[in-house]
Amino acid sequence: MKNITIVGGGLVGSLLAVLMAKRGHKVDVYERRSDPRTAEQYAGRSINLVVSHRGWTALRAAGIDERIREITVPVYARMTHDPQGKTNRLPYSIENKAIYSVSRGELNNRLLSEAERMPGVTLHFGYRCDDVDLDKASCTFARKGEEPKTVKADVVLACDGAFSAVRAKMQYGRFNYSQEYIEHDYKEIAFPAGPEGNPLMDPQCLHIWPRRYYMLMGLANQDGGFTGTLFMPHNAGPEAPDAGFDKVRTEAEADHFLKTHFPDAYAIIPDMTQQYMRHPQSTLVIVRCSPWTHGSTAALFGDAAHAIVPFYGEGMNAGYEDCKVLNDLLDEHGDDNWGAVLHAYDKHRVANGHAIADLSLRNFTEMRDLVAAPRFILRKKIEGHIQAKHPDQWLPLYTQVKFTDIPYVDALREGQRHDRIMEEILAMPGIETKWESEEVERKALELLKKA
Enumerate binding residues for ligand FAD (CB under 6 A).
Answer: 7-13, 30-33, 45-46, 49-50, 128-129, 159-161, 165, 186, 229, 302-304, 310, 313-317, 319
Q: Which residues pair with 157 in a beta bridge?
A: 6, 299
Q: How far apart are CA 56 and CA 62, in angstroms?
A: 10
**Minimum CB distance to ligand FAD smaller for 326 or for 425:** 326
Q: Which amino acid is at 144?
A: K
The least CB distance from residue 359 to ligand FAD, in Å, is 12
Cα distances (Å, whole numbers) of residue 94 to 208, 220, 319, 381, 383: 20, 22, 27, 10, 10
DSSP string, 5-54: EEE--SHHHHHHHHHHHHTT-EEEEEESS--TTTSSS---S-SEEEE-HH
Q: How many CA atoms lie within 13 A of 319 on its CB side?
A: 29
The least CB distance from residue 15 to ligand FAD, in Å, is 8
**Minimum CB distance to ligand FAD smaller for 199 or for 315:** 315
The least CB distance from residue 129 to ligand FAD, in Å, is 4
The least CB distance from residue 380 to ligand FAD, in Å, is 20
**Minimum CB distance to ligand FAD smaller for 8 or for 203:** 8
**Minimum CB distance to ligand FAD smaller for 186 or for 394:** 186
3-state secondary structure of 101: strand
**Minimum CB distance to ligand FAD smaller for 28 or for 383:** 28
The least CB distance from residue 407 to ligand FAD, in Å, is 17
DSSP string, 246-304: TT--SHHHHHHHHHHH-HHHHHH-TTHHHHHHHSPPB--EEEEEE--EETTTEEE-GGG
**Minimum CB distance to ligand FAD smaller for 321 or for 383:** 321
**Minimum CB distance to ligand FAD smaller for 161 or for 218:** 161
Q: In this structure, what are the phi and psi dihedrals at residue 178, rounded to the nearest 5 degrees?
A: -140, 145
Q: Which residues pair with 208 in a beta bridge?
A: 80, 217
Which residues, including other chains, have CB under 8 Å from residue 183's CB and lie 6 or more apart? 233, 234, 235, 237
The least CB distance from residue 53 to ligand FAD, in Å, is 11
Q: How far apart are CA 363 and CA 98, in angstroms?
A: 18
**Minimum CB distance to ligand FAD smaller for 182 or for 370:** 182
Q: Where are the alpha helices (DSSP H) in 42-91?
A: 53-61, 65-69
**Minimum CB distance to ligand FAD smaller for 151 or for 445:** 151
- Contact predicate 58/15, CB 8 Å: yes
The least CB distance from residue 320 to ligand FAD, in Å, is 8
Q: Which amino acid is at 239?
A: E
3-state secondary structure of 446: helix
The least CB distance from residue 420 to ligand FAD, in Å, is 28
**Minimum CB distance to ligand FAD smaller for 188 or for 383:** 188
**CA-closest candidate to residue 304, choices 294, 295, 314, 315:** 315
The least CB distance from residue 168 to ligand FAD, in Å, is 9
Q: How far apart are CA 316 and CA 322, in angstroms?
A: 10
The least CB distance from residue 236 to ligand FAD, in Å, is 21
Q: How far apart are CA 87 and CA 226, in angstroms?
A: 17
